[in-house]
Amino acid sequence: MVVKVRLEFKLLSTTKIAGDHLLTLNLKNVGSSILKNMVVRLHSLVSGFSVVGFGRFVYALIPSAEVSVKFRVSVSSLARAYFSVCGYASGDQYFSMESPIMEIPIKDAAEHDMLLT
């Protein structure tokens, strides 16, 4: 049985904090499966971009539910990056997916929408 996982990613903000930036990402489960034990990671395609920590853990996300995760990053200008998510759907079926590459403007606020299927 193949589980179709659908997540909506929305970058809510990029805020400057103490020499770094705080990225706030909203995840919404737009599919029909309960998603559990997810690890969300941020990856950059440019040098001079670093993420504090390995990733963010999300215990569970039921259909239509949303959760915000925050990433502390060191970057000085516009960055090209993507997010990856892995976890389990419908009980014990492993899934892994990546977002499209997106540009993350480093300023006080930014908003980008993308839907992964």
DSSP state of 18: T
Look at the block and give the residue holding tokens 């215990």: 59
Task: Summarize pLDDT for 65-98 with one digit per residue, the tens.
Answer: 999 999 888 876 667 788 999 999 987 899 999 8
Contact call for residues 52 and 108 (beta carbons, < 8 A): no
The H or E element that residue 104 is part of is: strand 102-104
Q: 7-17 and 56-61 as β-strands: parallel, antiparallel, unpaired?
A: unpaired
Task: Summarize pLDDT for 38-49 with one digit per residue, the tens.
Answer: 999 998 877 777
For domain 7-105, the question of CATH label 3.40.50.150 is answered with no
Tokens read off for 21: 């930036």
